[in-house]
Amino acid sequence: MGLRDQLTGKLPEDLLPSVSDHFEVIGDIAILFIPPLLEPYQFTIADAILSKRKNIVTVLKKMDKITGDSRTAHYDILRGKTTVTVHREFGFSYHIDIGSSFFSARMAYERKRVTEQVEPGERVYVPFAGVGPYAIPAAARGAVVYAVEKNPDAFRWLEENVARNHAGKNCHIRQGDALDTPQAPRATFDRLIIPAPYGMDCALGTLLPLLSEGGMAHVYTFKTKEQVPGLLAAYEADGLDVTYYSSCGNVAPGVSRWVFDLARPL
């Protein structure tokens, strides 16, 4: 039974079409967007989720968009007591406070797609590392990973998660500006994984000198579908081969997060 069906008889019938059966789950926390017309029933909706999903203990209402250097949104707690959880993903676990650190469970399969391309012995650079969902799996595959995160709260969880997942031997982390390349290791990398936040299209241009010949960059950006052809042409004009690209889901009306796999020819 879907959430909408579960709320039949508890909400006015004309409001039921506004109820979405889709919501993000991170660990044991459900995150909802509640449109204004449903706000009088937000606690009823939260209780329905708790009744339906026994693995959920906290329900959050997303209050605004992800903003700022910390890449965090603001939430109201509808049910539960904390925004801290443990999220498990493909054999790894991430301790995180989603109230102070960015994390998207919806990117799980995309992260797996990228990190499964990592080969043992590669040198991998991960700016905007967050709590470690790219850096830790890459290190577990035998790569030497350098990960940078600016948000002090996210960095604290990154540090803990590296230890939690026994990745410390291969995963070297630093708190600071991911685009401050003079502080990066004085070497080039076989692979760049760049989950850049919104508005950071400059990231690839800044970090590209760190990519070795024959290396691969996985770049994330936020664009409309109509902007993609121009972006493909720009990458090719920079001498990069686009080996794969795809939408990773909508983030706003008409705007999606896109990933581009870019090979630097020998």
Query: Which tens digits make up the pLDDT trace of 122-178?
Result: 999 999 999 999 999 999 999 999 999 999 999 999 999 999 999 999 999 999 998
Which pLDDT band holds residue 13 (cuts at 50, 70, 90)? Answer: very high
Give the range of the structural domain holding residue 204, as residue numbers without chain letter: 105-263
Write 152-156 long-range contacts (CB < 8 A, 24+): 153/70, 153/97, 153/100, 153/101, 154/70, 154/71, 154/100, 154/101, 154/102, 154/129, 154/130
Are 19 and 8 in contact, with CB atoms under 8 Å apart?
no
Q: Which of 82, 117, 138 is the last residue of a domain?
A: 82
Which pLDDT band holds residue 66 (cuts at 50, 70, 90)? Answer: low
Residue 195: CATH number of its domain: 3.40.50.150
Q: Which of 21, 50, 82 is the last residue of a domain?
A: 82
pTM for the full predicted model:
0.92
- Does 184 reside within a domain? yes
φ/ψ of residue 132, rounded to 5: 110, 15
Residue 72: CATH number of its domain: 3.30.300.110
Q: What is the pLDDT of residue 111?
A: 98
Mean pLDDT estimate for the chain: 93
Q: What is the pLDDT of residue 172?
A: 95
Structure tokens of 65? 């968009």
Q: What is the DSSP letter of 228?
A: H
**Do 32 and 132 fall within a single domain?**
no
Residue range 178-189: mean pLDDT, rounded:
74
Which pLDDT band holds residue 181 (cuts at 50, 70, 90)? Answer: low
Q: What is the pLDDT of residue 187?
A: 78
**Do 78 and 114 fall within a single domain?**
no
- Does 227 reside within a domain? yes
**Do 110 and 71 fall within a single domain?**
no
Q: What is the pLDDT of residue 254?
A: 92
Instruction: Work out the percent of the chain whose per-residue pLDDT is above 90.
Output: 85
**In sequence order, what are the beta bridge partners of 84?**
97
Longest CA span, the chain: 64
Are 102 and 72 in contact, with CB atoms under 8 Å apart?
yes
Structure tokens of 68? 């700022």
**Do 169 and 219 fall within a single domain?**
yes
**Do 189 and 63 fall within a single domain?**
no
Which pLDDT band holds residue 74 (cuts at 50, 70, 90)? Answer: confident
Tally of structural domains, the chain: 2
φ/ψ of residue 144, rounded to 5: -95, 110
Residue range 85-106: mean pLDDT, rounded:
96
**Amino acid in position 88:** R
**Do 70 and 109 fall within a single domain?**
no
Q: In the chain, helix, strand, coil percent, each to 5?
A: 30, 35, 35
**Do 140 and 31 fall within a single domain?**
no
- With CA atoms as reference, report the closest residue to 68 among 197, 154, 174, 220: 197
- Does 74 reside within a domain? yes
Are 223 and 255 in contact, with CB atoms under 8 Å apart?
yes
- Does 232 reside within a domain? yes
**Amino acid in position 1:** M
**In sequence order, what are the beta bridge partners of 247?**
258
Q: What is the pLDDT of residues 205-256, one digit of tens each?
A: 999 999 999 999 999 999 999 999 999 999 999 999 999 999 999 888 899 9
